[in-house]
Structure 1
């Protein structure tokens, strides 16, 4: 990492990085393939060819396809309005659109379920619309809930592309007689195709890897996907790691195939015209009528994606008796008091959440800084490329697949350290799942820093410890803090790892919300959900503030 280190020391450091990544990430993932393909020493493909698994696989692909379609219908008009028109309050619109992304998806699904269920809030407030309820608790409802959560991925990808398209091309088309529809079809859409492919892939992968929404809403309508079936095989007796690994392998293969097609489309339809600095952007002036229609659409999206689930969650958290409906006499704050009452289940879950998340965030920052500094200087060599690929691998593989691999690896009889079914296993799982966030923050930050100070310190004979703690780490302090906050955010809201890895009789906030909702104690679960949402939004605002600060000039 610097000229004072001997060649031998550098080799040791790279060896430690590679070996640790192999044991933490690569080998657990490879175990899924070997466990699935080999049974008693012979190749076994029956588990991959069974009709039951095929049906679940088809359900997953079907859900992903329709979520991409609905997300596109929601996101494309929004992106066009904010990027290409003179509509006002664009920053406010961006914040409102990103709120669903800040909210854990399983909490949104619970909010919609509470709103639309029999004797729910829709029936109480608008009884004339209660006929919608049977139609909502179908596959269509599942698609709508998932689409309202993931459409910001599509929106951001398309909006950023529209902002980079130089309007000179559109002006040239208009000068030569092209109308709005011709220009859109022949110029704008082809330039958008690459960004749309990226957004569609993100939406599809996010949908197929999602566990919370299918587990809370999909299970109620009898619609099962790969993630919920994987969870079923490793959480219900008899435990069947064979089928769980089969489903995990199918999920990984489908993701890899989609990555290939997305890269193919992006490479064929990527244009150097995008991203030119100071590109001229013409804004379409909307008439009063069109502005009214646009604002109606924007408000409708905000109501369905944010207001309804938030309203249901917050109101349920203060309802004393569910059957008495909405009444001032039926409001209470007792469920929030449980959260701060030592000895209560809610308080214990909250303490467990904070303790595990803090330890996981600290370890993630330490490991992420180690790997990020190794790859941040963009040095050539196969070792550095492998460190880069392996450290970011958990970001490209569905989380539940990583968890299955870790369970197979750390629950094996030859594992010398028995950490399975302990807090250590939970912390390690969080560290591995969320390691890419810190690695990306650190590597990007370190790669953009002017390294004159380091070179000056080396010439002056400074020890590596002085160089690290006085120069490198201070210059990357914002990235380190950002990595810690991001890890803490995703740790407190992580559901599937909590349900699969937590020791018996131990709960954190996510598993507490899930269990209370499933057992019919919605109010106590939603009180915890409100706290989770509040913490997530506050920490994301803090993260945005830190990352927006101007970097200090060395």
Structure 2
């Protein structure tokens, strides 16, 4: 029975994860009925592709730089100073995570565009509009969304630094700046590199912000070009596959570099004794400056895009601008009017997301338990690698692979351009979340309970139903909710996989924004953000805080 489950798990993962990704490599070198590696080289060496690749690298590095200016001081202020209300600051800084990047990009676009809210509220700052609609604006938008990755990485490292290391530096006459440069910075260097590479990978993989804002300024990156080749006529899967392979190769090289840096520049910061923690006392002036800095980050990362999205969703006539008589709730009433396009999109969103989350929870639980057993052997290693593979590859690349695999006349199950294809795509994309939750939970479980169940005559299904599932239920629910959150806000899969004539909330927001009907799109965006916040709060409540069962 155990061998049959292992074989089925490997076959399913090969069928829905590995083979579609391998097909990307095949289509990259397949040209005119034969395999020719030269075709791949010729494709990626064209001026257009080289320019797009350079744009992607440039955007990634610039986002790292700006994110560093935001995240490094913020992490130090929150962890190493005596500033109050740190828990509230953490919540504020994580709000950008609740908002999909394409919605933030839309909010900034509406706020900064000609005759936008900036010019209406602060006409003297209208000179900023043409300067914002450049690469600078795209870097600002993406940095304000992604910087929490680096902030969290640095924060977790700073918390572990023992006070004795800093006190030893001060005892030998070192100044604060010298201690910062010679003690603290070397200790957090590895975490900084990890955070920086995560930011670069997220930036290189991001589709929503470059598709909404980058296209307006004529700045194209690999993800938007991949989408162009599979969505605009003539469709060219060969070029899309070549660009996908180029993007995947770049990401894998960076992952390898990250692991190298982590292993070479990691330090043991936690010892056997209780570690003391040093807080730097701030003067009143320093506290005032720190709060001003936090307030500015909050306004730019959350305040401005949220204001633009909410205000736009309430406008009756776009040209009349912000005024009391120009506010209406008609867009929201349309969302909940049965039969309307917005209502149908909302229903499709919940239907697809809930079904995908249920299937992901079921499949992820089985794989997580297999991985959590920690047994050695090739089958277990393959299941571990295959199940987390979609989390290490850009989402648009995974979607391309699924299209190549299922959009063929030889496919025995014709699910392409159907409701089932959308659900399968979401399952593949978000499977790693549930797998990791359940695997971590199962590893912490005391397996004496399973042995006791076996001793008293329980079969595998009984032990699974009465012991394993109840103990790991919170992990399963957390995986379900996380899948629900990301599937509601997923854009690239919705645009590429949804059957003709069918929309969900993400594709509805995107299409309404592109067509100039911004109020309807932003009303849907507000509802999506509201649902996401509720689900995140619920996920926090279900966080696994159990101690190991003895």
Range into which the TM-score falls when normalised by the shorter chain? over 0.9
Q: 1:265 aligns with which of 258, 261, 269?
A: 261
TM-score by length of 2: 0.98
1:489 corresponds to: 485
- Displacement of 1:494 in angstroms is 0.3
Structure 2 CA distance for aligned equivalents of residues 277 and 234 of structure 1: 58
2:57 maps to which residue? 61
The answer on 1:15 being equivalent to 2:7 is yes
What does 1:318-333 correspond to in 2, within 5 Å?
Answer: 318-333=314-329
Deviation of 1:220 (Å): 0.3
Q: 1:28 aligns with which of 15, 20, 23?
A: 20
Could you report, residue by residue, the CA deviation over 1:137-175 in whole angstroms, capped at 9, with x for unpaired residues? 000000000000000000000011001011101100110
Q: 2:45 aligns with which of 27, 49, 52?
A: 49
Deviation of 1:459 after TM superposition, in Å, equals 1.0
Q: 1:276 to 1:51 in 2, by over 3 A?
A: farther
Give the TM-score normalised by structure 1. Answer: 0.97
CA distance in 2, matches of 1:135, 1:165: 42
Shift of 1:440: 0.4
Matches within 5 A, 1:230-379: 230-274=226-270, 278-379=274-375
> Which residues of structure 2 form unaligned runs of 5+?
none
Distance 1:42 1:36, change over 3 A: same
Residue number among 136, 153, 160 corresponding to 1:157 in the alignment: 153
Partner of 1:395: 391
1:130 aligns to 2:126 (yes or no): yes
| Residues 1:520 and 2:511 aligned together | no
For 1:474 and 1:291, how far apart are their aligned partners in 2?
Answer: 47
- TM-superposition CA deviations, 1:427-461 (whole Å, max 9, x none): 00000000000000000001100111110111112
- Give the secondary-structure state (helix, strand or coil) at the position aligned to 2:299: helix
Identify if the C-alpha distance between structure 1 residues 271 and 429 changes in structure 2 by more than 3 Å, giving closer, same or farther: same
Q: What is the match of residue 424 of structure 1?
A: 420
Say whether the 8 Å CA contact 1:353–1:492 is kept in structure 2: yes
Q: Give every structure 1 segment of 4 or more consecutive aligned residues whose post-TM-superposition deviation is greater than 6 Å.
A: none
Aligned 8 A contact 2:446 2:548 in 1: no
> How many angstroms does 1:278 deviate by?
3.1
**Shift in Å at residue 38 of structure 1?**
2.3
Give yes or no for contact 1:165–1:275 (8 Å, CA) kept in 2. Answer: no
Count of residues paired in the alignment = 546
Q: Distance in 2 between matches of 1:381 and 1:274?
A: 32
Q: Secondary structure at the match of 1:418?
A: coil
Instruction: Tell me if 1:469 matches 2:465.
Output: yes
C-alpha contact 1:161 1:274 (8 A) present in aligned 2: no
Once the two structures are TM-superposed, the CA of residue 79 in structure 1 deviates from its matched residue by: 0.1
- Tell me how far apart the structure 1 counterparts of residues 539 and 204 of structure 2 sit (CA, whole Å): 28
**1:202 maps to what in 2?**
198
Q: In angstroms, what is the RMSD of aligned CA positions?
A: 1.1
Q: Which residue of 2 aligns with 1:4?
A: none
Structure 1 stretches lacking a partner, 5+ long: 1-8
Q: 1:139 to 1:275 in 2, by over 3 A?
A: farther
The corresponding residue for 1:220 is 216
C-alpha distance in 2 between matches for 1:262 and 1:466: 43
